[in-house]
Amino acid sequence: MTTVRVRYAPSPTGIPHIGNIRTAMFDWLFARHTGGKFIVRIEDTDKNREVEGGVALQLDALRWYGLDWDEGPEVGGDYGPYIQSERLHFYHQYAEELIAAGKAYRAYDSEERLKSMREDQQRRGQPTGYDRRHRYLSADERAEYENSGAPSVVRFAVPTEGKTTYVDAVYGEIAFENKVLDDSILLKSDGYPTYHLASVVDDHLMDITHVLRGEDWIPSSPLHVQLYRAFGWDAPTFVHLPNMLGLDRKKFGKRNGAKDAMEYGEEGYLIEAMFNFMALQGWSPKEERDLFSREELVERFSLDGILNHSPITDPAKLDWFNGQYIRSLSLHDLADRCLPFLQKSGLVESDPSAEKLEYIGRVMALEQERIKTLAEAPILGGFFLQADDAYEFDEKAVTKWFSNPGVGDRLRAVKEDFAALKDFDAASIEAVIRDVITRFEVKGGEVIHPVRVSVSGRTTGPGLFEMIEVLGRERVQRRLDRALSLVTA
């Protein structure tokens, strides 16, 4: 049985889009499911779009998503080099073979002529494409261009009659009329290949068995199939993946909710949630549940489950996934994962003590049912970690609850009774507050809300009695004193 070999081939043009990572994830899952190989190959042949550090950005994203590669940069392998700019000799060799066989040709058109050609086609309402003028140059005309030193590109001499047909693993049989295909450029005038030549040559030389890529590449697939046939090579299985769509049913992008691949981690999404959510964007395990571990996804993944229609990618659904995984964390793990966000906000020092970490765990335990992303930790739990004289009060809450007649007396009674408690736990704290409500013959909210605002500065948050227990008696007493200084009634 042939070993499955799949490749993810990003360009070093910046942080990868989440759709690119989805492709890499499907590659990785298929390789791990079949016991095959996941290869990373850097396609850096468009030097105009390359950014400094672009390769590192691509590899860092793969690492964050846990997509380890079997061959490629930093790993090596028997099919290297795995960076296309280091493989230029291959592309030149195979381009010359096509030229010698009459299946490709050099074209010497100037930019001015090509621009004029396209403008004329547009005026006539014709599809824009190369008019094949230099495909049929005589030997003398070619020699004249060569002797003049005119720059040239290598174009593929696509068949002009018949159809190009192939079977896609997702979309079934796909056919294109050859007469609508263009004589695409294979080798640019700067000596670098286009994607068409480089991907076909590299996929063949690296024994790639399956090419997983976005459905946007379907229009280019007949050219690639024709290139394989021109070389006399067997083509890999093409697996075109449905585009991810936003809620507006347009391609999922920045304008409709998508983020760069690494932004999700920076915004507090767990890798487990991201992996689970992304695996279901265009693939179905055919089970009536949503939550799967990485191991379960590897076990279930197959090409048969890839959908032939675009999924709607709902950011709110990702929030749900993230919340589910956050609630499954142990308190120790939750504290560890929240720590970088708390430190970035200046709420926790760079090297907190074990006692501080334990306290963070207790704080986040109170928020575990509400928190959607780790980035919310400083917002939801910040008042626990701020100094007793530094947390901010909600001005509207102060106006509403600290101006009611008798509120000062009620808060002082709570403070005095807290001081007398033997055990400062949630049950005892609740008993004190219930007693004050009864004693002053007021509605519960006339004690509960002022106490909450006093110790947290806000009107919403975790359970009041549990919150006060975690803050501790001494801090609560100081906070009540501070609140009493603001009471106007």
Question: How far apart (Å, rounded) are the C-alpha atoms in residues 219 and 196?
Answer: 12
* Buried/exposed code over 299-323 (b: 16+ C-beta within 10 A; e: otherwise): ebbebeebeeebbebbeeebeebbb
Angle at 450 between CA 448 and CA 456, to 5 degrees: 95
Query: What 3-state class would DSSP assign to 25?
Result: helix
The CA distances from residue 371 to 2, 52, 326, 394, in Å, are 47, 36, 8, 20
Residue with tokens 């299946």: 103
DSSP character for 166?
A: E
**Which tokens in the block code for residue 28?**
């990785």
The CA distances from residue 464 to 62, 103, 232, 442, 453, in Å, are 42, 77, 74, 18, 10
Cβ proximity of 69 and 40 under 8 Å: yes
Question: How far apart (Å, rounded) are the C-alpha atoms in residues 245 and 409?
Answer: 58
**Which tokens in the block code for residue 110?**
């100037």
The residues, ordered by sequence, that sit 6+ positions from 191 with a Cβ below 8 Å of its Cβ are 88, 92
- Catalytic-labelled residue, pool 115, 179, 250, 254: 254
The question of whether 317 is a catalytic residue gets the answer: no
Question: Which residues are tagged catalytic?
Answer: 254
